[in-house]
Structures are given as C-alpha cells and as structure tokens.
Amino acid sequence: MAVCVAVIGKDNAPKYVSCLNPNMELDFHYKVHNALDVVEEKMSANGKASGDIRELYLGLLNSTDDHKIFGYVTNTKIKFVIVTESANTSLRDNEVRMMFRRLHSVYADVVCNPFYNPSEPISSKAFNETVRNMMAGNL
C-alpha cells in the first residue's frame, strides 16, 4: 500500500518519516519535502475558500513516474504525507483517505501521551506499528 509515511510539524520540519525500503530514505525525504510546496498552496487556497468545515484531506499532491504523493493536514497544521506506488493501480482514493484517518487517530494518541513533548520527533511504538501495518498493506 503505502511505501512511505511522514508526519510533518507546524514548522514544516519532519517529526516522523518511515519508508518501506530504507535504501530509498533520502529519495523519499526529498519527495515529501518537495510536496510541502503543494500542501502550502492547497492550505492557503482552502483557507480562503471554505468557512468552518475544513476538508483535512488534500488529495494528490504530486505524482512521478513511480510514485503518487498524497497529503492531509490537521487543524493544528500537522501534515501527514503518504507516498504510494504509481504501479499500484488498484488503490482507490477512499483507501488513501482511510489511511490518513487512521494515521490521524494514532497521532492523536501519541500527543495525548503526557510524556510526549510535541516538539520532539515521534518515537511511539504503537504509532510505528500502525505505520508498519499500513505499509505492509493490512490497514
């Protein structure tokens, strides 16, 4: 399913980046980082257009020959980015949304932990486990 999952903080610095293939980590870091341009664009466009109800799912941010990059932003400006393989043609938009919702919920669990300092990178085992599952395809 997903080949890379990233959580990016309010200040656009990464809080969590995990890739299915550790050899491609640098490549994915660049991809995710680059997609932030589109996230910012979409956020400012969303901010202008809508009132109270905000769509958190930003949809497809970028696509390359090999990968598709999707985005999601919480109300506190935490960005989630999921990279999938373009070859995976059976992946539906709704499934990507589901992954994001799932991610959001585990992220909320992480920040609810009183011992977690929100300015630090995420190192929660439960979060890691969920992300691993997402990447293994058992959502």
Partner 1 sequence: MNYEESKAVITYTGEGWNANAKSLLEAVGADSFEWRRPLGRGPKHVRVEAALFAAAEAPSNRPMIHTFWSACTDVDTWRSSEKDRVERWIRSIAAGVEWLVVLAAPKVADKARTELKQSERCISSRDPALLRRVRQMLLTAISNEEQRLGQEVRRERERRNEQGWSFGEYLALQEQLAALLGTLKGAEDEALVQYDELDALFTQFVRNASLIGKVNFVLRNEKQQHLNFLSEPPPWLNSFSAPLKEWRGLGIDSNARFAIVNSDASLLQLRVYLFTRQLNLLLKMNQPQQSQKRISSQIAERCLPLLQICSNELRILEVDFPEGAASCWAVQVSLQVLHVCRKYPDQVHSLPAATLCDYACQKLFQLGELLGLMPGGQGPSSAQIDAALWLGAGLGPEPPFGGEQLKEALGSPAAFQKLYLELAELALGTFKHLGRSRSARQLGHQLANFHQLRGDPHLAAAYLSDALTAVEGWPTLEIHILSQLAECLTGEKLAMARARLAASLTLELEVRKQHWHQLLQILKTLDDDGCVMPLEEVFDLVSVTPISGHRQQAYVNINSRLPEAVLVNPSLSVQTSLPQVSRKESNPRGRRLRGNFSACLSSEPIKIQPGLNEFILNAQGDLHTGHLSQLSLIMNDKMDFVSAEARLGIIEVKKGETTISVESGQLLARMPQKFQLRFTAGTDGIEEGTEVTIKAPRGLSLGDGGRQIVIELPKTEQGQDTVVTLEAIATPPSAKSTDIEYGLTLTSSLWDQAYPVSVHFTVPVAASVKLHTAMKTKFLQVVVSSTCRQRLMLSDPTLELSLGTCTPLPISSKPLTLDPDRPLSYIWQLEIEGPIRAKFNVNLTKDEVNGAYNCEFELAECATMIFVNSKVAAASGAEVCRANAMCHLHLTVEASEAIGYSLMYELLADQSMWAVCGRTAGVLNLDQPSHNLVLEVMPLTSGFLPHPQVRLSKYIPANAGSTHPKLEPFGPGQVYNKSKSLQVHVLPAIQSS
Binding site for partner 1 (CB under 8 A): 11-14, 17, 25-26, 29-30, 33-34, 36-37, 41, 63-65, 86-87, 89-90
Strands (E), the chain: 2-8, 14-19, 57-63, 67-73, 79-85
How many C-beta atoms lie closer than 10 Å to residue 136's C-beta? 11
CA distances, 43 to each of 5, 85, 91, 127 (Å): 20, 24, 25, 25
Quick one: which H or E segment has residue 109?
A: helix 93-112
Decide whether 13 or 98 has the Cβ nearer to partner 1: 13
The residue whose two tokens read 């491609």 is: 24
Decide whether 21 or 63 has the Cβ nearer to partner 1: 63
In whole angstroms, how close is the CB of 98 to partner 1 at the nearest point? 20
In whole angstroms, how close is the CB of 14 to partner 1 at the nearest point? 6
Decide whether 2 or 36 has the Cβ nearer to partner 1: 36
In whole angstroms, how close is the CB of 53 to partner 1 at the nearest point? 26
Decide whether 14 or 46 has the Cβ nearer to partner 1: 14
In whole angstroms, how close is the CB of 83 to partner 1 at the nearest point? 15
Q: Could you tell me the two tokens for 82?
A: 């999921």
**β partners of residue 57:** 72
